[in-house]
Amino acid sequence: MQRAKPGLQFQQILKTFPTSVHEPLQTIQNAGGMLAAEHCRAVMESLNISTEDLMPRLLPIARLYSATAISDFQVGAVAKAGMSENANSIALFLGANIEFPAQALTQTIHAEQSAVINAWLQGAKQIDAIAVTATPCGYCRQFLYELAGSQNLKVILHNQINGKTGRHNLSDFLPEAFGPHELGSATGLMASPAQHADLNFHPSSNDPFVRQALAAAQKSYAPYSQNYAGCAIKTIDGKMYAGRYAENAAFNPSLSALHTAIIHMNMDNFESEKKITRAVLVERPASISQRAISELLLQTVAPGVNLEYYEAE
């Protein structure tokens, strides 16, 4: 049975909430899957609930962003993140799993990764908690452990069958963990202050699309390889989405810049045309490269579109 379009399902889910919060919740689909701090406060005050009580209630909306052509198993996640040093500036970021037919399963993006990257790309400072519709797999536990402050990260599990919600520390799921410290790194994903790589083209490019990919590369996270990389993709409706490489101490849970750009695009308005017409990758040459995996994935998500490649130093 074919599912209703995500936009229609969103409106149906909205009806399960009191009408007093429909207006702030409507903003999610036009804000890249984010419930901004002021709207988050408005919903909590209206419902008289805490942020961590609100998060599981948004999971049905998060699942609408899933693209599961292989498994048909939709997973949603909601990340709680601070937007500034002000403790009251808390926003919620949605994410969902994305699968790529005709590609190896290792290309899959997990919901927890999607929510974290969504927060990172939209300027969040630190993830404090994450709610998910299913217990995080080992891969996601390792990915979350890379976050700055992960020792205090709360994982909120919502049982879709009995409706019960449980709260856990990430350390409960990943005892005796391997992370940045084991590789001699004192930083972490979304660490504050943010570390920016000083990169430039030789020769320089004035193409604003290419410059957007360079700006993303400068903000990428690559403490182990220094393979700073950024990607920009353009869709048929003229929209541009940038993504940054996000490295992981365990290597495999790392996300390429194209993967994070796809997350950026996927979390846009449900009605947006998501047909990619142009893709640019900018990276700093290192012992590894994002080029080959990006070209491989692009063949599936945008057949016929060639990856434009630039090196920066």
**What tens digit of pLDDT does each residue of 67-104 get?**
999 999 999 999 999 987 666 799 999 999 999 999 99
**pLDDT beyond 50 at 1:** no
For the chain, the average pLDDT equals 94
**What tens digit of pLDDT does each residue of 115-147 get?**
999 999 999 989 999 999 888 999 999 999 999
**pLDDT beyond 80 at 203:** no
Which of the following is catalytic: 23, 112, 182, 247? 112
Domain with CATH 3.40.140.10 in the chain: 15-183, 208-311
Q: Which two tokens stand for residue 288?
A: 């590894």
- The full length of the chain comes to 313
In this prediction, residue 168 carries a pLDDT of 94
**pLDDT beyond 90 at 165:** no
d(CA 282, CA 213): 6
In this prediction, residue 79 carries a pLDDT of 99
In this prediction, residue 162 carries a pLDDT of 75
Q: Is the pLDDT higher at 21 or at 162?
A: 21
CATH fold for domain 208-311:
Cytidine Deaminase; domain 2 (3.40.140)
Q: Is the pLDDT higher at 289 or at 88?
A: 289
For 133, phi then psi, to 5°, come to -85, -10
Pick the CATH number of 15-183 from 3.30.2310.20, 3.40.140.10, 3.20.20.70, 3.10.580.10: 3.40.140.10
**What tens digit of pLDDT does each residue of 218-274 get?**
999 999 999 999 999 999 999 999 999 999 999 999 999 999 999 999 999 988 889
Section 203-227 average pLDDT = 93
Which residues have CB under 8 Å from 283's CB, separation 6+? 217, 227, 228, 229, 230, 245, 257, 289, 290, 291, 310, 311, 312
Q: Which of 79, 117, 80, 85 is nearest to 98 (CA)?
A: 117
DSSP per residue, 227-258: --EEEEEEETTS-EEEEE-B--TTSTT-B-HH
> Which residues on neighbouring strands pair with residue 201, listed in sequence order?
312
Active site residue 99: no
Section 184-207 average pLDDT = 84
Percent over 70 (pLDDT), the chain: 97
Determine how many CB atoms are found less than 10 A away from the CB of residue 135: 13
DSSP letter (8 states) at residue 33: S
In this prediction, residue 86 carries a pLDDT of 66
Residue carrying the six token digits 């796809």: 262
In this prediction, residue 205 carries a pLDDT of 85
In this prediction, residue 87 carries a pLDDT of 60
